[in-house]
């Protein structure tokens, strides 16, 4: 995990800016962080009085930045973005025949981004490669001053246990499956925004698990799941099956992520509610 608090948000090309020779994961981290710094600057510049304007401008600013940088540094790769349009968009066909596809969410947790004082929003950048799945991933948490990378485990998993199991859930739509599992396991639900922020809370030990049901797309989970799996955490669909990316329909509605030692009991508790 890298901290960015000491960096000048207004700088476009500093030490963390992408370089042509960067590895894919280094590029993912630089782009996620760069988009995050732009989103912080926008927040400071226009404030929170018009939340819709802040959300809309934030989405477009981060999206445009990420697309321009990916075209510059990886011109042969396809892109699947929440904000995308055309052949490289969510239902485009170009990406389905590509060997390398960047799956990005320029601003995950848009609602939280537009609320003053909240830090549970994120920028997701992941690389999917044919026959290999997610091979590089980064999740920037700009308001928390951190960027998680798939090549840097934040902390040893065994150091991250709580006396009562803590399960991150949506702050607006906590799923029935999570409530049922919490009741079975005697766990505590921890509401927060942004899939990226919730998965980051798992891998940094703030919570033990994250359970989601009821609708997500590939860009909501690709990068944070890439970071979690690379660090040794469990991540799967609610039925225990593998999360598969770059599909013709990018709808990927549910997931569970947790410490590996908790996976069997949590999946069983979820299964009882399905």
Binding site, by residue number, is 82, 105, 107-108, 220
Q: What are phi and psi of 156, to 5 degrees?
A: -60, 135
Instruction: Supply φ then ψ for residue 226, to 5 degrees.
Output: -60, -40
Distance CA 16, CA 165 (A): 36
Round to whole Å and give the CA distance between 225 and 126: 9
Q: Which residues fall in the annotated binding site for Mg(2+)?
A: 82, 105, 107-108, 220
**Helix ranges restricted to H, the chain:** 24-46, 51-73, 94-97, 110-113, 176-185, 195-203, 218-230, 263-271
Structure-token match 């329909």, residue found:
249
The C-alpha atoms of residue 218 and residue 243 are separated, in whole angstroms, by: 9
Positive or negative, the Cα torsion across 269, 225, 96, 92? positive
CA dihedral 76, 82, 85, 87 (to 10 degrees): 40
Tokens of 82: 């929440």
**H or E, element range at 106:** strand 100-108
């Amino acid at each position: 995990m890298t901290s960015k608090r000491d960096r000048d948000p207004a700088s476009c090309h500093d030490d963390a800016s992408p370089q042509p020779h960067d590895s894919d994961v280094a590029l993912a981290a630089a782009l996620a962080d760069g988009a995050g710094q732009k989103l912080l600057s926008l927040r400071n510049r226009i404030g929170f009085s018009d939340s819709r304007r802040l959300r809309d401008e934030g989405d477009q600013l981060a999206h445009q930045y990420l697309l321009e940088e990916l075209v510059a540094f990886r011109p042969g790769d396809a892109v699947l973005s929440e904000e995308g349009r055309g052949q490289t968009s969510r239902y485009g066909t170009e990406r389905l025949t590509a060997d390398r596809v960047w799956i990005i969410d320029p601003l995950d947790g848009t609602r939280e981004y537009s609320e003053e004082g909240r830090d549970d929003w994120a920028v997701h950048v992941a690389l999917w490669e044919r026959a290999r799945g997610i091979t590089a991933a980064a999740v920037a948490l700009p308001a928390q001053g951190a960027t998680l990378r798939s090549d840097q485990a934040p902390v040893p998993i065994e150091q991250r246990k709580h006396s009562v199991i803590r399960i991150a859930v949506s702050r607006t739509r906590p799923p029935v499956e999570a409530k049922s599992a919490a009741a079975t396991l005697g766990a505590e639900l921890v509401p927060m925004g942004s899939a990226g922020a919730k998965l980051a809370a798992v891998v940094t030990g703030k919570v033990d698990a994250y359970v989601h049901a009821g609708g997500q797309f590939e860009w909501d989970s690709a990068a944070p799941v890439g970071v979690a799996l690379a660090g040794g955490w469990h991540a799967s669909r609610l039925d225990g099956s593998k999360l598969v990316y770059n599909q013709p329909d990018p709808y990927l509605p549910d997931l569970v992520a947790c410490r590996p030692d908790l996976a069997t009991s949590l999946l069983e508790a979820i299964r009882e509610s399905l």
